[in-house]
């Protein structure tokens, strides 16, 4: 029944497209797309973002891109398959969690594990992880850490050392999926202490494989990854904190927001980037309230620790599993994210189940479907229905980029990222528009969202370049030049604003300026075919035919398919102008393979 419920509630995600950053590991990932499983050695020895950004720092999660490489090899890039695999992995996690819960609560009837897992699998906080294909790392990480705990319990029961080895392997796979399970080095012995009769020596032995795996993971990370640059304020607003007071105050306020989302999961947002969460002082009322609540919960947990109180376990499990993503000790690449609650929410569901049992004065050790009060059944069914309805509703936001970003700008209007993403989406829609009227409508919407993003954070070069490009598409060249130049002042490393400036100058017949900017773009990114091709055009219009041929050939060698193989046609035309009939005929034949009607 649990599997059926989990599948039914999330089945409609199978019809969804790729959304948000899904394309980073699928359709826009050149390395995985071209090499498939043969890319696995590169994916294992580089950072998570290497395969699509070319950078080798940040997160080391090789199993995530490797899973997509395997998927590409056997199924190609197909949103249905990607979403199906995510759902299958989630169902496997449900099976593993039920086995773990049955082991943890072996003194209780299966009814207890059923209730806990029903709440967990239906909780709306998980919609991002299941519906966002890229969040497969969260599912893999929690699946493998669950298997590691099960193997640890097997060792405790049987004292067979092969289970220690298996536990270590599972935990290493968990860390290779995502680094956040490292906190289970502390949660595992806590779990063994609470839910077994093992002595300290056995518990320590059951934890050793996890420590060894953590050490191996850290070693691999240090071996393969380059040092990371400082975290950007655009990724984590806490970087902008004016001091320790503001940073600590905001961190604890965020922790309370997490707890409130578990209790009442609305509204749910796909993004909490700068400036969606406002920084607050340590002495702000919200911060003080958050600290008091967190301190009270932890104090209760430690007081009840020796009594093996289940609520105590839930509190310690929850806060321990949030340590790495809390930004308290290490700054992460996000201010806040709902996916960070994927594993910690299990502690909440355990605690909620036992709270409700106690509220209705039900003996948990004898409870079953037939003997529990009807009031408790009504409460659980009501919560399950509300969770399921919210999950189905929230999943719809992840259907495609338009539904997701529309929801995001409505729910997180102060985030620079949501505004920028919506602007980029409308810009793509403008370029794909079938009519002038449609194009103008879409580009005007794009301009509106880009401007709002820049109002929130004006010093981000990419948004300045995006706005400049949108102005260029709308033929507002003066405004485009202002923002493209501003982008270059903020960060001159990118080739895109230089190429866009070149296109503006080419369109306004300022060939000398166009040539300068296109050459600059090409020097920034020699593999970009666009500046090479349009340098050929600029030199052609400038009547410098030798240079024109040079750059058209460069474009053809970089990407012969670019612009419907037009580079070959232009080479043939230029050679005809230069009265080099043999060369003109040679490239005409190449061009005719793709366009039989071409003649220079």
Q: DSSP letter string over 309-320?
A: -HHHHHHHHHHH
Q: Per-residue pLDDT for 4 more than 90?
A: yes
Query: Does pLDDT of 53 surpass 90?
Result: no
Q: Say whether pLDDT at 367 is over 90.
A: no
| Domain 502-600, CATH class in plain words | mainly alpha
pLDDT value, residue 407? 97
pLDDT digits (tens, 9 = 90+) for 207-234: 999 999 999 999 999 999 999 999 999 9
| pLDDT class of 542 with cuts at 50, 70, 90 | confident
Cα separation of 22 and 154, whole Å?
37
The pLDDT value given to residue 302:
96
Ramachandran sector of residue 370 (left: φ over 0; alpha: ψ -120 to 50; beta: rest): alpha
pLDDT band at 564 (very low <50, low <70, confident <90, very high): confident
Residue 159 Rama label (left phi>0; alpha psi -120 to 50; beta): left
Judge if 415-494 and 502-600 fold alike in CATH terms.
Answer: yes
Query: pLDDT for 118-152, tens place per residue?
Result: 999 999 999 999 999 999 999 999 999 999 999 99
Nearest-angstrom CA–CA distance, 289 and 285: 6
- What pLDDT is stored for residue 369 in this prediction? 79
| CA–CA separation, 592 and 308 (whole Å) | 79
- What is the predicted pLDDT for the residue at 563? 86
How many angstroms separate the CA atoms of 145 and 148, rounded?
A: 5
What pLDDT is stored for residue 174 in this prediction? 98
Distant-in-sequence, close-in-space partners of 55: CB < 8 Å, separation ≥ 6: 47, 49
List of residues 6+ apart from 81 with CB closer than 8 A? 71, 75
Instruction: Tell me what pLDDT residue 476 has.
Output: 97
**pLDDT value of residue 164:** 98
Q: What is the mean pLDDT of residues 316-326?
A: 97
Distance CA 236, CA 584 (A): 56
Q: Give the largest CA-CA distance in the chain.
A: 98
pLDDT digits (tens, 9 = 90+) for 489-528: 999 999 999 999 999 999 999 999 999 999 999 999 999 9
pLDDT for res 553? 95
Query: What is the CATH T-level fold of the domain 415-494, as seen in this structure?
Result: 1.25.40
Q: How confident is the model at residue 51 (pLDDT cuts 50, 70, 90)?
A: confident
The predicted pLDDT at position 54 comes to 84
d(CA 317, CA 183): 9
Mean of pLDDT values over 42-50? 94
Q: How far is it, in rounded angstroms, from Cα 455 to Cα 204?
A: 54
pLDDT tens digits, 103-125: 999 999 999 999 999 999 999 99
466-496 pLDDT, tens digit per residue, is 999 999 999 999 999 999 999 999 999 999 9
Q: How many Cβ atoms are within 10 Å of 206's Cβ, its own excluded?
A: 25
The pLDDT value recorded for residue 406 is 97
CA 143 vs CA 94, 181, 254: distances in Å: 9, 11, 26
C-alpha–C-alpha distance, residues 267 and 124, integer Å: 10
Q: What is the predicted pLDDT for the residue at 300? A: 97
Give the start-to-end residue ranges of the domains of the chain. Answer: 2-225+235-392, 415-494, 502-600
- Rounded mean pLDDT, 451-458: 97
pLDDT for 297 equals 98
Whole-number pLDDT of residue 206: 98
Q: Does residue 368 have a pLDDT over 90?
A: no
Of the given ranges (286-300, 472-486, 561-575), which has the lowest mean pLDDT? Answer: 561-575
- What pLDDT, on a 0 to 100 scale, did the predictor assign at position 366? 84
Cα–Cα distance list, 131 to 30, 139, 366 (Å): 23, 11, 37
Average pLDDT across the chain, whole number: 96
What is residue 347's predicted lDDT score, i.e. its pLDDT? 98
Q: How far apart are CA 154 and CA 51, in angstroms?
A: 38
The closest of 149, 259, 137, 141 to 206, measured between CA atoms, is 149
The CA distance from 555 to 543, in Å, is 18
pLDDT at 468: 98
Average pLDDT, integer, range 78-84: 97
- Angle (CA) 221-224-225 rounded to 5° is 75
Q: Percentage of the chain with pLDDT > 90?
A: 93
Please say if the pLDDT value at position 351 is more than 90: yes
Residues 6+ apart with CB under 8 A from 356: 376, 379, 380
- Residue 333: the pLDDT is 92
- Better-scored residue on pLDDT, 372 or 389: 389
pLDDT tier, 371 (very low <50, low <70, confident <90, very high otherwise): confident
The pLDDT-based confidence of 374 (bands split at 50, 70, 90) is very high
Q: Is the pLDDT of residue 284 over 90?
A: yes
For the chain, the straight-line distance linking the first and the last C-alpha, in angstroms and rounded, comes to 70
Give the tens place of pLDDT for each residue, 169-188.
999 999 999 999 999 999 99
pLDDT band at 599 (very low <50, low <70, confident <90, very high): confident
């Amino acid at each position: 029944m649990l599997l059926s419920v989990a599948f039914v509630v999330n089945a409609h995600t199978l019809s969804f497209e790729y959304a948000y950053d899904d394309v980073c590991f699928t359709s826009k990932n050149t390395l995985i797309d071209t090499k498939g499983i043969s890319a696995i050695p590169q994916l294992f020895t580089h950072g998570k973002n290497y395969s699509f950004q070319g950078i080798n720092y940040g997160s080391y999660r090789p199993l995530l891109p490797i899973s997509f490489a395997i998927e590409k090899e056997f199924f190609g890039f197909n949103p249905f398959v990607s979403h199906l695999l995510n759902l299958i992995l989630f169902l496997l996690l449900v099976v593993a969690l039920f086995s773990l819960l049955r082991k943890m609560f072996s003194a209780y009837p299966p009814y207890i594990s059923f209730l806990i897992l029903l709440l967990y699998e239906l909780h709306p906080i998980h919609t991002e992880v299941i519906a966002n294909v890229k969040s497969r790392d969260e599912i893999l990480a929690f699946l493998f850490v669950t298997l590691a705990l099960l193997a640890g319990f097997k060792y405790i029961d049987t004292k067979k050392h092969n289970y220690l080895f298996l536990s270590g392997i599972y935990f290493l796979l968990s860390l290779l999926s995502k680094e956040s399970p490292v906190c289970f080095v502390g949660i595992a012995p806590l779990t063994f202490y609470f839910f077994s009769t093992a002595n300290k020596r056995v518990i320590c032995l059951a934890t050793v494989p996890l420590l060894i795996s953590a050490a191996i993971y850290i070693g691999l990370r240090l071996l393969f990854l380059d040092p990371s640059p400082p975290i950007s304020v655009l990724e984590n607003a806490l970087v902008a904190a004016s001091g320790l007071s503001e940073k600590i105050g905001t961190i604890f306020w965020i922790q309370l927001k997490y707890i409130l989302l578990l209790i009442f999961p609305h509204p749910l947002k796909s993004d909490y980037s700068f400036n969606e969460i406002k920084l607050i002082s340590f002495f702000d009322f919200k911060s003080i309230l958050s600290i008091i609540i967190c301190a009270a919960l932890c104090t209760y947990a430690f007081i009840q620790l020796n009594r093996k109180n289940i609520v105590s376990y839930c509190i310690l499990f929850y806060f321990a599993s949030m340590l790495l993503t809390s930004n308290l000790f290490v700054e992460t690449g996000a201010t806040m994210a709902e996916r960070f609650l994927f594993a910690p929410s299990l502690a909440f569901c355990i605690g909620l189940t036992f709270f409700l049992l106690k509220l209705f004065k039900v003996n948990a050790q004898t409870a079953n479907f037939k003997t529990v009060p009807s009031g408790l059944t009504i409460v659980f069914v009501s919560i399950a229905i509300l969770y399921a309805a919210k999950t189905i509703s929230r999943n719809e936001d992840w259907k495609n980029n338009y539904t997701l970003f529309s929801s995001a700008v409505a729910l997180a209007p102060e985030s620079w990222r949501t505004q920028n993403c919506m602007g980029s989406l409308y810009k793509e829609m403008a370029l794909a528009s079938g009519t002038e009227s449609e194009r103008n409508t879409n580009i005007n919407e794009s301009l509106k969202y880009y401007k709002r993003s820049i109002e929130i954070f004006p010093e981000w070069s990419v948004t300045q370049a995006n706005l400049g490009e949108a102005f260029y598409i709308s033929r507002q060249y003066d405004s485009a030049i202002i923002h493209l130049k501003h982008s270059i002042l903020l960060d001159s490393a990118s080739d895109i604003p230089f190429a866009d400036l070149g296109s503006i100058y080419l369109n306004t017949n300022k060939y000398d300026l166009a040539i300068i900017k296109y050459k600059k773009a090409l020097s920034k990114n020699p593999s970009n075919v666009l500046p090479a091709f349009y340098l050929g055009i600029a030199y052609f219009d400038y009547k410098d035919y030798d240079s024109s041929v040079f750059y058209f050939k460069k474009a053809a060698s970089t990407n012969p398919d670019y612009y419907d193989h037009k580079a070959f046609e232009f080479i043939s035309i230029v050679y005809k102008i230069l009265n080099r009939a043999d060369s003109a005929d040679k490239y005409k034949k190449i061009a005719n393979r793709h366009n039989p009607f071409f003649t220079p």
